[in-house]
Amino acid sequence: MRQAVHAAAPYAVAEALREAVTLHFAVERVEVLLADPALVTLRPVLDELAPGARGVPIDGTPAGRAFAAQVPQLEGNLLHLPVSACGERVGVLSLSFATPPGTEVVEDLRDVAVALGHALRDADRITDRYHRVRRAARLTLAAEMQWALLPGCGHQGDGYRLAGQLEPAYAVYGDNFDWSCGPRRLILSVTDGMGAGVEAAMLTTLAITALRNARRSGAGLEEQAGLADEAIYGQYGGRLHVSTLLLRFDATTGEVAMVDAGSPKLMLMRAGQVRHVELDQQLPLGMFGNTAYTEQHLRLEPGDRLIIASDGVHSSRSQGGVEFGVASLEALIKSTRMQPADEAVRTMIRGLLDFRQGMEVLDDAVVVCLDWTPDPDSRQEPSQTRPDRDLP
C-alpha cells in the first residue's frame, strides 16, 4: 500500500490509496480529509465540496479529535486516523468497515496514513489539487504570498517539537515565521513587516529570503540579521522595516541564542508557570542598514515551552476596547500546558479569536511554539557562554 501511494501521480495520491486499501482490507468507503489553513475544518479530497461548503468541523467531531490529538478514533465501524508528515499535521484518513477493525488492522493502517502524509506533502510541490481542496474561501494575494513562504506548520525533531500558525489565515499581511530544522538543532525566525496587503507581503518576502540566503551561506544569527538589515534598507531606504526575532536552539544542551530586532513577545512556560522573557531590544531590520546586532542567550530546562507571539496577538483589542495584553497571553499559555505544541498553538489562536469576536481585524498575528522534549540519555553539559550576554 505504501508503494502504491508513493508510485502514484501527485494529483492521484488519494485515488491510489483508496484502491490499495480496499484491495487489502474489508473497507467499504475511504475518504481523505485535509485541514484548512485556519485549522477550523477538515475538507474531503475524494468527494470534493461545493464552493462555500463548510466541511467537517475539527472541534466536536471524531475526525476532528483524531486530527487534534493525533490519536486514532473509532466511531462504530468508522475509523479516523491522523495523517501527518515529520510531525506536521496534514489531515485525517477516514475508513468505513463492515465490522469494527481489530488492533492489528488499526496499527497497519496508521503506517499507511503516515505514508499518505508524506506523499501529500511531496505532491503539493507538483499540483494545486490539494491546495484548492484545503481552502474554505479564496486567499487574498498577500496571504497567498505569505503561505508560499512558510516551511510548514509543524515539525517533530529529535528532542523538540515545533509548531506555528498565521491568523487571519485567509488574509494575512506582514506576519510570518520560518525555520530550518536539523536532527538536534534548529534556526527560527518570526517576522512582522510594516504595512498591509501586498506591500507588507513583499517586505516580508524580502526579509525572509535575505535571512535564508545568509543562513544557507553559513552565517550566524548576528550576521544573518546584519545582512537582512542591509538588504531591506537598500530596497526601502529606511521607509519600511521588519520587526524580527531570530533564534537558534540546541536540543542536546537546551541552549537558545537570540537576536531581538524589535521582536514579538517571547514567553517561557516552565513547570506550569509562565513569564515574559525580557530581551535587549535592538533596531528592526531595515531601519538604518548598517546596524550591528548582538546575540543573547537563554538556557532551557527539560520540558520547557517557548512561545513567540507577534504584536497582533498581545495588542489586539476587544469590542469594548480592552487590550488582550501580556497577562491574558500568559493565562492562555498556561491553559495549553497539557497539549502538544501544534494543538497549543491552535488553542491560543482560538482564544485570540474569541477575545476579539465581532471586531474588524486591523492586524494579523502569528504564534510559534517550541517544546524541548529531550531524551535523558542524549543530554550533554551545556557549553560555556559569555556571562555578559546571558539571560538570567
Least confident stretch, 15-29, 237-251, 361-375: 361-375
Q: Are 189 and 216 in contact (CB under 8 A)?
A: no
- Cβ atoms of 149 and 205 within 8 Å: the answer is yes
DSSP one-letter code for 390 = B
| pTM of the predicted protein model | 0.90
pLDDT tier at 377, thresholds 50, 70, 90: low
Q: Tell me the mean pLDDT in the region 322-348.
A: 89
pLDDT (mean) for 347-356: 85
Report the C-alpha gap between 253 and 246 in whole angstroms. Answer: 18
Reply yes or no on whether the pLDDT at 315 is more than 80. no
Q: Where are the domains of the chain?
A: 2-133, 141-389
Q: What is the pLDDT of residue 392?
A: 35
* pLDDT, tens digit, 9 for 90 and up, residues 146-204: 999 999 999 999 999 999 999 888 888 888 999 999 888 999 999 988 888 899 999 99
141-389 shares the fold of 2-133: no
The SS3 of residue 20 is: helix
Q: pLDDT at position 151, please?
A: 93
In this predicted structure, what is the pLDDT of residue 388?
38
Contacts of 14 (CB under 8 A, 6+ apart): 32, 45, 46
For residue 36, with 0-12 CB atoms within 10 Å meaning exposed, 13-18 middle and 19 or more buried, which class applies?
buried
- Measure the CA–CA gap between 341 and 359, rounded to whole angstroms: 27
Q: Confidence band (pLDDT; 50, 70, 90) for 306?
A: very high
Q: Tell me how far apart the terminal alpha carbons of the chain are, to the nearest angstrom.
A: 53
Q: Is 151 helix (H, G, I), strand (E, B) or coil?
A: coil
What's the CATH code, domain 141-389? 3.60.40.10
Q: 124 pLDDT exceeds 90?
A: yes
Q: What is the DSSP string of 169-230?
A: TTS--SEEEEEEE-SSEEEEEEEEESSSHHHHHHHHHHHHHHHHHHHHTT--HHHHHHHHHH
pLDDT for residue 386: 39
Q: Would you place residue 327 in the very low, low, confident or very high pLDDT band (cuts 50, 70, 90)?
A: confident
Average pLDDT over residues 125-139: 93
> Is a pLDDT exceeding 60 seen at residue 239?
yes
Q: Which of 80-84, 116-120, 125-129, 349-353 has the lowest mean pLDDT?
A: 349-353
Q: What is the dihedral of CA 247, 251, 256, 262, to 10 degrees?
A: 20
Rounded to an integer, the average pLDDT of 61-79 is: 95
249 pLDDT more than 50: yes
Domain 2-133: which topology? Beta-Lactamase (3.30.450)
Q: Which three cell numbers stand for residue 38?
A: 485556519
Listed in sequence order, the DSSP H helices in 31-102 are 62-69
3-class secondary-structure state, position 343: helix
Cis peptide preceding 168, ω within 30 of 0: yes
70: number of Cβ within 10 Å: 16
For position 317, what pLDDT does the model report?
67
- The pLDDT, as a whole number, for residue 379 is 46
Average pLDDT over residues 89-105: 94
Among the listed ranges 66-70, 113-117, 127-131, 308-312, which one has the minimum average pLDDT value?
308-312
